[in-house]
Structure 1
């Protein structure tokens, strides 16, 4: 099969097309013909030698966690997914090969039917970002009516889902973004949008219950400045790996709470998200689509920043 692989870590140009062995489906795995693969920051960090690159056991290696596609093999005849079903999910890369390939063997607990109202490309943009947002906003923050939640990078992949989930559960959502995304974020459910290019968010908002921190201190000490916006005992949830190593201690010193967050590839939660998408309560935005042969360009685009929603690699045409 064709795949976009790396033979070593490095700049985006290390990504290239190669012919690799078709994955062998074993035990409870489902073999999926991949239609689309989402592009995530962790993919780029790992390709560059950071992220989870230390767990790559051998090269050539296939990056990618998000996928959409069609089932071509199932574990057994009475399995709930059938050959021909359109599915999506999240792989556990680099514990095995990723989704920038024409086929993937997927653990059965990490795949479910895709939303009927989404195309394959749109569906490929959902799993990692939506599951991350759900975990932070619903599982940890327990979003509810009357709660004030500040969401950084609200227009990004995780951010635009976080805004929608928080608003769906009744929270008062305050999002930060560039000015060009203000109207769009209000359409998604944000009650307030702060243009970080012209205002310091800590001067505009105070006494929030929760901060969904999708930046950390990687840019302009966003994480540390966010602590100023929390009410006493408020909670900050930080997702980007390594973006703020002292987050818990820094918050505790001010009488605040903080935790990091790591997403799990849980198909049962993704099934709930599927229902919200099919009902029209949650939407996904795909900013740009790349061919598999242009995976390096997709990574360059991601690293430029300012992506609205998600980038997707179109892997193969479906019958």
Structure 2
């Protein structure tokens, strides 16, 4: 068990959750405001995607990222900003009988460095790096992250001084982490264990501990589950030596039938952690723990 943890709030995500809850923020103002409220409630890190305000779908628009980050940095709180780099690796096939041509509505494949354009300009302290490819759900959607792509992105992040948070969706993706370490592209890895995502690692305790037991020495790691297991995982993560992630990207409910806000999920997490004797860290403590490099 870990005695102190930091909470990451995943504010909006890129999926269809926006269609199922009016609390999921969409516009830059809404996303920033939700991140600020989550910070005031106890989150030290805010994980940011952006959405097209008209279509409400996930976007890689630099102007949207610029607006969100500017609003957060101008606020009276100072969370660690963690920008996604997951978009640009989305492959949607045409179906089992005619996989080609690709579905143009969902496919978004971009060169490695193009996926880092917003990171290069805005210089967050952290950005994500998805550590492998996988079938993402029961559709014809495949999340594509080849090793050469990850190597190129990791090398550029090293040059920029931005700390990658390594998103690990299954046990095999920890091999990618080890290989990046061997190549000198990572020091003291920061890892996020992403549980319960179909068809990645299931959210059961045995799988979590199997992955925890393969974490490279010296790594700082967090763990979360999507859906109804998100809040139970707040306690499970701390018991497994991990930090915590909650937020509307991964779960929409505080309890059955009771829609959550990001701030509400963070508040509930703080209560769970404090009730089992775990102290919640603030943003500056996280900066010191992770040796982050502020760029603004």
Q: TM-score w.r.t. structure 1 length?
A: 0.27
Higher relative contact order structure (alpha carbons within 8 Å, sequence separation ≥ 6):
2
Answer with 1 or 2: which has the greater Rg: 1
- Structure ranking higher in helix proportion: 2
Q: TM-score w.r.t. structure 2 length?
A: 0.29
- Structure ranking higher in strand proportion: 1
